[in-house]
């Protein structure tokens, strides 16, 4: 879904990304969680963190199915992409 547009809120980014991925419900819920986490004075609970990780995994799988296999292969060999997968 690309890099978030500078100044875009998580919900705005989720709307744009949904148009490209069709991962609407997961994206919206994840964007809501990110918004609350960023603007809240409290840390997310373990349950919220686990939920966000599960949502991220759903969105990632959806995006992966939309990515052409040659690009997935190239990304799997790219050390910067590997570092991103390992470090989160």
Alpha carbon 50 to its chain centroid, in Å, reads 14
What pTM, to 2 d.p., does this model score?
A: 0.66
Residues 35-83: tens digit of each pLDDT: 888 888 888 889 988 999 999 888 888 888 888 889 888 878 888 776 6
Tally of CB atoms within 10 A around 17: 22
Q: What is the 3-state secondary structure (H, E, C) of 40-66?
A: CCCCCCHHHHHHHHHHHHHHHHHHHHH
C-alpha 42/C-alpha 46 separation (Å) is: 12
pLDDT digits (tens, 9 = 90+) for 27-47: 888 898 888 888 888 888 899
Q: What tokens appear for 9 in the block?
A: 């809120």
């Amino acid at each position: 879904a690309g890099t978030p547009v500078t100044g875009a809120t998580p919900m705005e980014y989720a709307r744009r990304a949904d148009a490209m991925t069709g991962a609407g419900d997961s994206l919206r819920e994840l964007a809501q969680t990110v918004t609350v986490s960023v603007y809240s004075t409290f840390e997310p609970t373990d349950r919220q963190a686990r939920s966000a990780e599960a949502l991220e995994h759903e969105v990632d799988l959806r995006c992966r199915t939309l990515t052409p296999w040659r690009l997935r292969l190239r990304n799997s060999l790219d050390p910067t992409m590997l570092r991103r997968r390992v470090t989160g």
